[in-house]
Amino acid sequence: MPLSLQDLNPNEINDWCPGCGDMGILLSVKNALIGTNADIHKTVIVSGIGCSSKLPHFVNVNGIHTLHGRAIPFAEGIKLANPELTVIIDSGDGDTYGIGAGHFVSAGRRNTNIKLFVHDNGVYALTKGQASPTLPEKRKVKGIPEPNINGALNPLAMAIMAGYTFVARTQSYNVKEATDLMIRAIRHNGLAVVDILQGCPTYNPEFTNMEWFGQHTKPLPATYDAIVKDPSNVSEVNQKKLQALNTLLGETADNMSTGLFFQWENPDTFEDRLRARGIQPPANADIADQNGHSTVNMDKVLEDLAV
Ligand SMILES: Cc1ncc(C[n+]2csc(CCOP(=O)(O)OP(=O)(O)O)c2C)c(N)n1
Ligand code: SF4
Ligand SMILES: [Mg+2]
């Protein structure tokens, strides 16, 4: 039986504020799972802490709501333990680009086949709307007494530089585009990030509503070709990265593009690198013989760990 919305959240339960963009993202995630014909027993959604990070509770797949800023290492561990799983992270901009920034950058060096869907609302919403790392300088939101004194990070330019092999942006109220990019990210063999500009009507109502996104974002031109055709051609890879960086760095906070900026089906994932060293995923290891007797030798495990 094909997967349906009914299978993924029969009661449509969530506890976000009315109009919250997280609901559009939730619908897009569910659509993307249906669109990729996901096996709900082999799908895991990982999150950190924040309003956005509640998402795993609202989808009927395996889920883990971890620590603030730590979704990426949990997700990497899950994927390496059992590469058969589809591992998706749903976390906030604060969680991913603030407290989790070190993990965000380091993940690029590994290219583990996991997917980051970042709910980018410009604020730490769960803790009452302080400025997040993507809130532009001089922008005033409800949770800060004066306009933002810090400049904003450019997370997708950071992702390109760090080594992410699929880099895209969309917005929470464009469920069609978000679903499409999520499906492509899930099908991509490698580390993918989709930054999702997200409406927070409670703490950032002025700059994250449907009308504002409609006026200040536009799809990348149809002529923009994000995909590396020959994965082994370093100069093509670099040319496509430069194209993405030029586009991202040429944007302003009031004029942003949505769509796929860069994709490189780099065959060298972190799973491949471990396999090349003869390291097998623990989930594939034999743990018992035909009679059900344990074959695990703890002495050997402890010996391997000794320094
Ligand atoms: C180690 C740690 N520091 C701080 C907090 C408090 N805290 C909880 S959620 C959050 C910010 C969440 O912001 P974001 O990731 O953007 O998610 P949003 O609520 O906007 O969806 C903070 C600072 C915490 N839970 N743990
Ligand atoms: S505070 Fe903002 S992000 Fe959190 S549930 Fe409400 S609208 Fe959504
Ligand atoms: Mg946020």
Domains detected in the chain: 5-276 (3.40.50.970)
Per-residue model confidence (pLDDT) at position 9: 84
* Gap from CA of 147 to ligand 3 centroid (Å): 17
Considering every ligand atom shown, identify the ligand nearest to the alpha carbon of residue 209 and give its number.
2
Per-residue model confidence (pLDDT) at position 71: 98
Q: Which SS3 state, helix, strand or coil, does residue 243 take?
A: helix
pLDDT at 299 over 90: no
Q: What mean pLDDT do residues 274-290 have? A: 90
Q: What mean pLDDT do residues 110-119 have? A: 98
pLDDT at 287 over 80: yes
CB atoms inside a 10 Å sphere around CB 42: 13
* Gap from CA of 145 to ligand 3 centroid (Å): 18
Percent of all residues in the chain with a pLDDT value above 70, rounded to a whole number: 100
Query: 16 CB less than 6 Å from ligand 2?
Result: yes
pLDDT at 226 over 80: yes
* Gap from CA of 195 to ligand 3 centroid (Å): 12
- Residue 205, burial from CB neighbour count under 10 angstroms (0-12, 13-18, 19+): middle
Closest ligand 1 atom to the C-alpha of 91? 15
162-207 pLDDT, tens digit each: 999 999 999 999 999 999 999 999 999 999 999 999 999 999 999 9
Query: 65 CB less than 6 Å from ligand 1?
Result: no
Angle between helices 155-162 and 101-110 (to 10 degrees): 40
Tokens coding 294: 């344990």
